[in-house]
Amino acid sequence: MKLFTVWINAFRLRTLPLAAASIIVAGGLAVQYHVFNLAIFLLSLSTALLLQILSNLANDYGDALTGADEQRVGPDRAMQSGLISAKSMKNAIIIMTGLCLLSGLSLLAISFDDDLNHWLIFLGLGALAIIAAITYTMGKLPYGYRAMGDIAVFVFFGLLGVLGGFYLQALTLPVELLLPAISLGLLSAAVLNVNNMRDVYNDKAANKITLVVLLGREKAFIYHLALLFLAMVASAIYIYNIPNSETWQYLFLLTMSPLLKSCVQIASEIKKESQEGEIFNQQLKNTAMSTFVFSLLFSIVLIA
């Protein structure tokens, strides 16, 4: 396999639509509030995508060192399969961290100019995002091994992604925007939950404690249904409260169809106590892409 292809696979580009979803919704909200700034939107998007790639590389590195990838049922990882050395992966993490800083600082420069208070606040948030991306599975206390991954995904892919992406353009934050931010956070947590339901047996063996390891697959599936239901309810309430909203503006609810079909497939695998990853891999992809489509449809509704 060519080195370029190996690195592209290590970047896990299939995860990028999910990383883009919160920024897309933030952009749609900015259009609705007549504060949309294309340069800020694009830099927000690039920063989010670079952070996701950084997280993917750090996850590859951390899981390989701890042995969590040894009996992996998902797609092979670069370090675990021996295609990339630990030293090369570490160097890539350093380079990607630098790119995240470059993109993030450019974003703040355009958004805040010389406003020191805003700079300090968002520098802190940016540093927190980089640390969170790296320490998910790396370091002495990886929080992804302590059942905190769902909370982190909810905060960074939902609250921080949507609310932060909007604030950078508007410099104000209406409280009602919590509803779409919560929706994206819950849907993103649902994607992680499918991943963890797939890996539960391997995670137990590697002493990687996820919420699914604590709950078991059956209860984790009920949790999954609650995430999807509450996500749709929160966004529906937001649209309902828009003055003169119309029925067609609930278009984003169409994404419930593929999400529920995924739930049927997942429930069948859980009932069989399957330790194979094929069905879970398919539904992981379907859940992630449904979340991305949700973000597009929700933003189109806001723009219209």
Dihedral, CA of residue 168, residue 170, residue 174 and residue 178, to nearest 10: -30
Residue 106 has pLDDT above 70, yes or no: yes
Nearest to 64 by CA among 44, 31, 88: 88
Cα distance between residue 141 and residue 196, in whole Å? 19
Higher pLDDT, 193 or 82: 193
27-31, 57-61, 239-243, 257-261, range with the lowest pLDDT: 57-61
Residue 227 has pLDDT above 90, yes or no: yes
Nearest to 194 by CA among 276, 283, 265: 283
pLDDT reported for residue 282: 94
pLDDT reported for residue 67: 59
Name the pLDDT band for 76 (thresholds 50, 70, 90): low
Name the pLDDT band for 6 (thresholds 50, 70, 90): confident
Higher pLDDT, 262 or 84: 262
pLDDT reported for residue 232: 97
The helix/strand/coil state of 54 is: helix
Q: Are 161 and 186 in contact (CB under 8 A)?
A: no
In this predicted model, what pLDDT tens digit does every residue of 237-257 receive, in sequence order? 999 999 988 999 999 999 999
pLDDT reported for residue 274: 76
Estimate the crossing angle of helix 278-303 against helix 256-271, to 10 degrees: 160
pLDDT reported for residue 4: 78
Higher pLDDT, 73 or 175: 175
pLDDT reported for residue 272: 87
pLDDT reported for residue 77: 67
Residue 3 has pLDDT above 70, yes or no: yes
In this predicted model, what pLDDT tens digit does every residue of 262-276 receive, in sequence order? 999 999 999 988 788
pLDDT reported for residue 1: 57
Residue 79 has pLDDT above 60, yes or no: yes
Name the pLDDT band for 73 (thresholds 50, 70, 90): low
Mean model confidence pLDDT for the chain: 91
Percent of the chain scoring above 70 in pLDDT: 96
Q: Strand (E) positions, 193-301?
A: none
The helix/strand/coil state of 241 is: coil
List Cβ neighbours of 83 (8 Å cut-off, separation of 6 or more): 1, 6, 10
Tell me what the mean pLDDT of segment 183-204 comes to. 94
